[in-house]
Amino acid sequence: MKNNNIKLMQGNEAVVEGAIAAGMRFYGGYPITPSTEIAEGSAQKLPRVGGKFIQMEDEIGGMAATIGAALTGVKAMTATSGPGFSLKQENIGYAAMAEIPCVIVNVQRHGPSTGLPTSPSQGDVMQAKWGTHGDHPVIALAPSSVKEAFDITVRAFNLAEKYRTPVILLMDEIVGHMREGIRIPDASELEIVDRKKPAGNGEDYLAYKVAEGESVPPMAGFGDGYRYHVTGLVHDESGFPVNSNAVADKLCTRLMTKIEDNIDDIVTYEELYMEDAEIVVVSYGGTARSAKSAVKKAREKGLKVGMFRPITIWPFPEKQVKEFAQKAKGIIVAELNYGQLVLEVERVVKGSSDIFHIGKVDGDIITPDEILSKIEEVI
Amino acid sequence: MDKLPHIWCPGCGHGILMRSIAQAIENLGLDKDKVCIVSGIGCSSRAPGYMDFNTLHTTHGRALAFATGVKLARPELEVIVITGDGDATAIGGNHLIHACRRNINITTIVFNNNIYGMTGGQYSPTTPTGELGTTAPYGNIDRPFNIPELAAAAGATYVARGTAYHANQLIKLVEKGIQNKGFSLIEGVSVCPTYYGRKNKKGSAVDIMKWQKDHAVDVKVAEKLSPEQLEGKFLIGEFKNATAPEYTEEYQKIIDRFTKER
Ligand SMILES: Cc1ncc(C[n+]2csc(CCOP(=O)(O)OP(=O)(O)O)c2C)c(N)n1
Ligand code: SF4
Same domain? For A15 and A139 the reply is: yes
Same domain? For A21 and A169 the reply is: yes
Give backbone dihedrals phi and psi of B242, rounded to 5 degrees, phi first: -125, 170
* In a domain? residue A245: no
Same domain? For A41 and A139 the reply is: yes
Same domain? For A174 and A304 the reply is: no
* In a domain? residue A248: no
- Regions of chain A where pLDDT drops below 50: none
CB-CB: which of A72, A91, A221 is closest to B62?
A: A91
Q: Is A64 on the interface with B (CB under 8 A)?
A: yes
CATH code, A37: 3.40.50.970
User: Could you tell me the pLDDT band of residue B2, with boundaries at 50, 70 and 90?
Assistant: low
The ipTM, to two decimals, is 0.97
- Separation between Cα atoms, residue A70 and residue A24, nearest integer Å: 10
Same domain? For A285 and A169 the reply is: no
Which of B113, B116, B200 has most ligand 2 atoms within 8 Å of its beta carbon, as the pocket-test mutant?
A: B113
Instruction: Name B161's Cβ contacts closer than 8 Å, sequence gap at least 6.
Output: B147, B148, B173, B186, B187, B188, B189, B234, B235, B236, B237, B239
Residue A6: strand, helix, or coil: strand
Buried b (16+ CB within 10 A) or exposed e, B207-230: ebbebbeeebbeeeebeeeeeeee
Instruction: Name A217's Cβ contacts closer than 8 Å, sequence gap at least 6.
Output: A99, A164, A207, A208, A209, A210, A211
Same domain? For A132 and A276 the reply is: no
| pLDDT value, residue B5 | 79
Nearest-Cα distance to chain B for A229, in Å, is 5
Q: Which of A134, A165, A189 is the last residue of a domain?
A: A189
Same domain? For A163 and A16 the reply is: yes
Contact B73 A52 (CB under 8 A): yes
At B216-232, the pLDDT tens digits run 999 999 999 999 999 99
At B122-172, the pLDDT tens digits run 999 999 999 999 999 999 999 999 999 999 999 999 999 999 999 999 999
Task: Tell me the residue type at B261.
Answer: E
* In a domain? residue A255: no
Structural domain that includes position A100 = 6-189
Report the side by side order of strands in the sheet with A279-282.
A269-272, A305-310, A279-282, A330-335, A354-359
Same domain? For A319 and A185 the reply is: no
Please state, as a whole number, how many other Cβ atoms lie within 10 Å of the Cβ of residue A10.
20
Same domain? For A154 and A284 the reply is: no
Chain B segment 70-99 residues within 8 A of A by beta carbon are 70-74, 76-77, 94-95, 98
| pLDDT value, residue B259 | 83
| pLDDT value, residue B261 | 60
Ligand closest to CA B195: 2
| DSSP structure class, residue A241 | B
Same domain? For A171 and A283 the reply is: no
Same domain? For A185 and A293 the reply is: no
The total domain count for chain A is 2
* In a domain? residue A364: yes
* In a domain? residue A236: no
CATH code, A363: 3.40.50.920
Q: Which chain B residue has the Cα nearest residue A207?
A: B54
Distance B156 CA to ligand 2 centre (A): 28
Lining residues, ligand 2, CB within 6 Å: B 8-9, 12, 14, 43, 113, 117, 192-195
At B165-193, the pLDDT tens digits run 999 999 999 999 999 999 999 999 999 99
Residue A144: strand, helix, or coil: coil
pTM of the entire structure?
0.98
| pLDDT value, residue B260 | 77
CB-CB: which of A47, A61, A70 is closest to B95?
A: A61
- Checking if the pLDDT of B262 tops 60, the result is no
A297: buried, middle or exposed (CB in 10 Å: 19+, 13-18, 0-12)?
middle
| pLDDT value, residue A1 | 53
Report chain A's C-alpha Rg in angstroms: 21
* In a domain? residue A264: no
Chain B segment 160-219 residues within 8 A of A by beta carbon are none
Q: Which of A189, A212, A247 is the last residue of a domain?
A: A189
| pLDDT value, residue A277 | 98
* In a domain? residue A115: yes
Please state, as a whole number, how many other Cβ atoms lie within 10 Å of the Cβ of residue A129.
19
Instruction: Name B72's Cβ contacts closer than 8 Å, sequence gap at least 6.
Output: A26, A52, A54, A65, A69, B104, B247, B248, B251
| pLDDT value, residue B190 | 98
Q: Is the CB of B92 under 6 A from ligand 1?
A: no
Same domain? For A92 and A184 the reply is: yes
Residue range B181-207: mean pLDDT, rounded: 97
* In a domain? residue A253: no
| pLDDT value, residue A2 | 64
- Separation between Cα atoms, residue A287 and residue A364, nearest integer Å: 11
Residue A92: strand, helix, or coil: helix
Residue range B35-44: mean pLDDT, rounded: 98
- Checking if the pLDDT of B1 tops 70, the result is no
Report chain B's C-alpha Rg in angstroms: 18
Q: Which of A189, A220, A238 is the last residue of a domain?
A: A189
At A320-367, the pLDDT tens digits run 999 999 999 999 999 999 999 999 999 999 999 999 999 999 999 999
Q: Is the CB of B126 under 6 A from ligand 1?
A: no
